[in-house]
Structure 1
Amino acid sequence: MTASQPRRLLVPLDDSVTVRNTVAYAVEQAETTARDSQQQVALHLVVVASTRAVDPEAQAELGDAKSLLDRAEVWVEEDLGADPPTNLDVTFEITGADRYLFSPGDYADAILAYAADNDIGQVVLDPEFNPGGTTPMLRPLEVELARDDVTVVTAPVERPARSTALARAATLPKYGTVFGISYLFYLLLSTYKPLDFLTGAITAAIVSGLLAPIAFSRQPSLTRIPKQLARLAIYVPYLIKEIAVANVQIAYVVLHPSLPIDPKIVKFEAAVWGDAPVTTLANSITLTPGTLTVSVSERAFDIHSLTADVRGDLFEGGLERAVRFVFYGREAAAIPSPRERGQGEDEDAGSSGDPEVPADG
């Protein structure tokens, strides 16, 4: 490590399998620089919040972020030992809770803003850094961070072999949730004879045994799921109404003599995260005539829209707010629409003749 290398390092933290080794690598680099230099060296360990502080579930998620920082503080003390350099300052912070973070570009904006505020010249990335969900984020994040004048280094730590989905541990909440959903679905299709209740239980047990290990990316909450199901019961009539209205609009377009269609593919960044909310929103958009979900990358949706009116409805955010209501509660539905967040201003992403799908971000 030479004296010319950055004396301020930023390490975005995520609860990954390599975060401990990434912290150790960053501490080693910062400590070496501090001992070789007479100037002050700063190491910033930062958790980029995946939820806004005002969101209903933010308390728990920000609590997890604080817990990760507490662990990181212990790791730093272990790595520095009993005689840390006096000219090395270590900071532990949470950033990004004041904004919506959807894509790697949004996470990069939060990281770069923090770096600019603290005059940081180097970002050390965990090779498994992925705060936004299950889709790998490292490569697109590196590209986005290259927009600014900071050095980006991926910590050279060993990545463990990835286990297959079937090897994931299934817990009692997973088994119970899958069993309950399967059993209720079976009964909906039955004639409610005594034998149906027995065969339904056997079928649900088999389904839960096979699917519980792979059914959820995180542990289901037995207190949250009943509330979500109750809100889902409210959402279904709303979705049916939206489908009916869209059917009338599209029927008018199809029957109009001039066929006033204007098909385009647009990018829609939704304020939802997690497998179930993203899947629900993507399918709801597809079920609504005039729009079709072409692809989904984290929270970025590529949507084929038939007319300008359906694009306008999409960016007004009715479906997005309704899905947020189902999964995050009533308060979470009161957010700015996608149009108010600056989306929908450029709708020239494609056309029926030569569609141009935006690159995954």
Structure 2
Amino acid sequence: MTTSDARRLLVPVDDSVTMRNTVAYVVDEARSAVTDGPVELHFVAIASTRSVDPDAPEELGEAAELLERVEVWVEEDFGDGIPEAVTVETAVLGADRYLFSPGDYADAILAHADEHGIGRIVLDPEYSPGGSTPMLRPLERELARGDAEVEEAPVERRAQRTVLARAASLPKYLTVFGASYLFYMLLSSWKPLDFATGAFTAGLVAVLLAPVAFSEQPSLRRVGRQLLRMLVYAPYLLKEIAVANLQIAYVVLHPSLPIDPKVVQLQAAVWGDAPVTTLANSITLTPGTLTISVTDRAFDIHSLTAGSREDLFEGGLERAVRFVFYGREAAAIASPRERGDDGEGQDG
């Protein structure tokens, strides 16, 4: 048995609405503790409770993808790179057993904690790996059997009410106000009256929309970095639009009109409302491709020519959107075609 250490943190992760904020909290804790010595962050995802065949990679895909997402968030929250004194480890648990009850989940988590000498377990307030039924309270009691300290991350929980009744925090109000005010001023003539009416309008928009504008707590520092990267992305997108326009113009003016319309599906490596919306709209803005629908990460896209499909599955737009929202290192990803995604096109 390894001696437990409170400087080793274990975080069970699940695809919840508060997971992003929990990761940010853990990074803040590591940033504060690293001044006194090395810190280890262990993020673990539970494999499917209904599929436990370790020889079937697709059954572990969702857990592995979630851990990849968490690693991107950790790098993003540290900003200037993960310090050398911070070690980040990820693991998929439960692939070799059938997990059903909170006790089963706790056994898998505690075994990992004991193996790595982990002295502190941080739980996401909405952690529920078994499905839609919350298990946080029973899981906390089961985890208390171990030697590690167990705590719930002090992050904003989802309100148990309708979406229109969700509470809004100060960062949400400030973010919505700032974005609305900037947009208003971009459309104004910058007269003194415009500043006053812009502030009033932005304030009204913030009051009405801040409670429903975000599915997670916004970080002004993170949003600021994303806006700066968006300034790099905008010229790239304009270039792609211009090139696609020339390609479509060639097709339209060609005597034989060499079009080959098909509906294809792109499995994009983006997540979250803003990245998915940005990629979907960028694809639509690029002539020759039109996003028809989006389900999770599956984009149904109508493509006019074979060339437009080639460009789509080369992954340029996907990498650019990942750069904007997840950082430079996240852009270094294999293209959809290299990942084995051929779109399975249908004539249309």
Q: Is the 8 A contact 1:16 1:128 kept in 2?
A: no
Question: How far apart, in 2, do the equivalents of 1:311 and 1:231 lie?
Answer: 26
Q: 1:53 to 1:94 in 2, by over 3 A?
A: farther
Match of 1:127 among 110, 129, 132: 132
Question: How far apart, in 1, do the equivalents of 2:319 and 2:339 lie?
Answer: 13
Q: 1:217 to 1:268 in 2, by over 3 A?
A: same
Query: TM-score scaled by structure 1?
Result: 0.59
Structure 2 residue aligned with 1:188: 186
Any residues of structure 2 matched to 1:200-219 within 5 Å, and which?
A: 200-219=198-217
Aligned length, in residue pairs:
238
Match status 1:57 vs 2:62: no
Q: 1:226 to 1:16 in 2, by over 3 A?
A: closer
Q: CA RMSD in A?
A: 3.6
Structure 2 residue aligned with 1:176: 174
Match status 1:91 vs 2:87: no
Match status 1:242 vs 2:240: yes
Q: 1:126 to 1:284 in 2, by over 3 A?
A: same
Structure 2 residue aligned with 1:22: none
Any residues of structure 2 matched to 1:326-341 within 5 Å, and which?
A: 326-341=324-339
Question: How far apart, in 2, do the equivalents of 1:88 and 1:289 lie?
Answer: 49
Structure 1 residue aligned with 2:120: none
Structure 1 residue aligned with 2:259: 261
Question: How far apart, in 2, do the equivalents of 1:45 and 1:333 lie?
Answer: 23
Q: 1:16 to 1:304 in 2, by over 3 A?
A: closer
Q: 1:301 to 1:219 in 2, by over 3 A?
A: same
Structure 2 residue aligned with 1:29: none
Question: How far apart, in 1, do the equivalents of 2:236 and 2:324 lie?
Answer: 11
After superposition, what is the alpha-carbon deviation per residue over 1:181-207, rounded to whole angstroms, capped at 9, x for unaligned? 000001001111111111100000000
Offset, 1:51: 3.7
Identity of aligned residues (%): 64
Question: How far apart, in 2, do the equivalents of 1:88 and 1:239 lie?
Answer: 45
After superposition, what is the alpha-carbon deviation per residue over 1:293-330, rounded to whole angstroms, capped at 9, x for unaligned? 01000111001101111001000000000000100111
After superposition, what is the alpha-carbon deviation per residue over 1:123-154, rounded to whole angstroms, capped at 9, x for unaligned? x932359xxxxxxxxxxxxxxxxxxxxxxxxx
Offset, 1:45: 8.2
Structure 1 residue aligned with 2:302: 304
Question: How far apart, in 1, do the equivalents of 2:195 and 2:233 lie?
Answer: 28
Q: 1:313 to 1:90 in 2, by over 3 A?
A: same
Match status 1:272 vs 2:270: yes
After superposition, what is the alpha-carbon deviation per residue over 1:99-119, rounded to whole angstroms, capped at 9, x for unaligned? xxxxxxxxxxxxxxxxxxxxx
Residue 311 of structure 1 aligns to a residue whose secondary structure is helix
* Runs of 5+ consecutive residues of structure 2 not aligned to the other structure: 1-11, 18-43, 48-62, 79-86, 92-100, 113-128, 135-157
Q: 1:207 to 1:250 in 2, by over 3 A?
A: same
Residue 90 of structure 1 aligns to a residue whose secondary structure is helix
Q: 1:94 to 1:281 in 2, by over 3 A?
A: farther
Query: TM-score scaled by structure 2?
Result: 0.61
Letter in 2 for 1:52: E
Q: Which has the larger radius of gyration?
A: 1
Q: 1:16 to 1:284 in 2, by over 3 A?
A: closer
Question: How far apart, in 1, do the equivalents of 2:244 and 2:105 lie?
Answer: 61
Structure 2 residue aligned with 1:132: none
